[in-house]
Structure 1
Amino acid sequence: MSSVPKAADRGLSIVIVETDRDRAMLIVDSLRDAGDFEIHVIAEVTGLARHIKQHNPDVVLIDIENPSRDMLEELALASGPLDRPVAMFVDKSAEGLTDAAIEAGVSAYVVDGMKPDRLKPILDAAVARFRMFQRIRMELAETKRALEERKVIDRAKGMLMKAKGLTEEEAYALLRKTAMDQGRKVADVAQALVTAAGLLS
C-alpha cells in the first residue's frame, strides 16, 4: 500500500491541472502559503495520464470551470484516483456530476471554484477520504481472498473425504499436516490438490 502523507507534512508532491496561467499561479501561491509542497502545473489536458505518471504526485488538484460528464470522468481517470487523492474544483456543476465524480474515484469534488483560504482544509479532507477508501478497498480484497481460499480448502477436503473415506475433520487435519511438513499455507496445498485432480480427471 502506498503511504499518502498528510497535507501538513513537508515535501508533499502536488500536481495542479489548470489551463489558465493566472488561475494556476493563484493556486500555486495559495499552496506556498499553506505549506512546503513540491508543486507541478500541467496546463494541457491532452495526454494528462502520461504527464501525471511522469511526476507521480502524492495529490492531484484539478481546476475546471464547467466540465461535461465525459470530460470529468476522463480527467478523473487520467489522474489515477486509485493511486492518489484527487481533488476537483469546478465553477459550475450540472446535475449528477458530483455522483459521477465520486464514482470515478475523486476524493473531493468542490463546486463554486477554487478559493485560496479553503484550499488546505480541502486538501487535508481529500487525503483523509482517500486513505479511508484505500483501507476499505484493502479490507474488501482481503475478505475476497479469504473467501476464495475457504472455497478451495472445502473442495480439497471434499476430494480427500471421497478418495480416502475420511471425515471432514480428518481431511482438514491431513491438509494442515501436509502444509506444515512442506512449510506452505493450507490454502496453497489445497489449491495444488484441486489443480492436480483437475489434470487427472
Structure 2
Amino acid sequence: MPDTLSIIVVEADPDRARLIVDSLREAGEFDIFVIAEHTSLARQISARSPDVVLIDIADPSRDMLEEMALASGPLERPVAMFVDRSAEGLSAAAIEAGVSAYVVDGLKPARLKPVLDAATARFRMFQRMRTELAETKKALEERKVIDRAKGMIMKARGVGEDQAYAILRKAAMDQGKRMADVAAALVTAAGLLS
C-alpha cells in the first residue's frame, strides 16, 4: 500500500463524519473522502478505489451490515466497521462478509489508528491465505490432470507409471510447454476421440 493511505469514510451524520475525519487527521497523513449516502455505495467506492474503507453505523441490522460490507469491496481492501450496538451473531456475519475489523461500542478517536492498522494487517494476512489457497487448488487440479494423462499413456503403451511420467515430461520439454498443459491437451484430445 502507498505511503499516504486513501480512506473512504462511510458516515451519514455530518457531525460524526467531521469527528472521524478530524481524528484521522490527528492520527496521520491520509487522503480522506466521506460518503454520506449509502445508495450506490459500491459504485462510489469503486470509483475512488481507496486503500481502506471505514464504516460507522449506529445500530446495524444483519442485512444492512452485509450489504455495507459487500459494497465496500472486502476482498479488494481492508474494511473497518464501527458500530454502537451489535445484536447476537452480527460480528460473525461481518467477519464472514469480509470485514477486517468489527468494533462494537462506537468509534473512539484514540482507537481509530490502531484499529485501522489491525484491519490492514488482518486483510493482508487473509489476502496471502487466499492466494496460497488458490495456488494450492490449481496445483492439485494440475496434479489430477497429469495423473489422468499418465493413466492414459500407461494403458495405451502398456508401460509403468514412472515410464508414463517420463514420456509425458519428455513431450512437455520437446514442445517447450508445462507438463500440466501437455497433460491437459492429451486428456482433452482423448475426450474428443472417444
TM-score surpassing 0.5?
yes
Gaps (5+ residues) in structure 1?
none
Question: How many percent identity over aligned positions?
Answer: 76
Partner of 2:166: 173
1:28-48 CA deviation, whole Å, 9 max, x = no partner? 111111111111100000100
Matched, 1:96 2:111: no
1:55 equivalenced with 2:48 (yes/no)? yes
Pairing partner for 1:43 from 31, 36, 41 = 36
Q: Distance in 2 between matches of 1:164 and 1:126?
A: 56
CA distance in 2: counterparts of 1:10 and 1:138, whole angstroms: 24
Provide the C-alpha distance between the structure 2 equivalents of 1:31 and 1:184, rounded to a whole number of angstroms. 52
> What is the CA deviation profile of residues 67-117 of structure 1, one whole-angstrom value per residue up to 9, with x for unaligned ones?
000000000000000000000000000010000000000000000001111
Counterpart residue type for residue 70 of structure 2: L
Dislocated runs of 4+, deviation >2 Å: none
Report deviation, 1:181.
Answer: 1.1
Give the 5 Å matches for 1:111-190. 111-190=104-183
Q: Distance in 1 between matches of 2:5 and 2:74?
A: 17
Say which of 2, 5, 10 aligns to 1:17. 10
Note if contact 1:11-1:37 (Cα within 8 Å) is conserved in structure 2: yes
Aligned to 2:70: 77
Count how many residue pairs are aligned between Structure 1 and Structure 2. Answer: 194
Give TM-score, length-normalised by structure 2: 0.99
Q: Which residue identity lines up with residue 164 of structure 2 in the other structure?
A: A
Report the alpha carbon displacement of residue 10 of structure 1 after superposing the two structures with TM: 2.8
CA RMSD of aligned residues (A): 0.7
SS in 2 for 1:66: coil
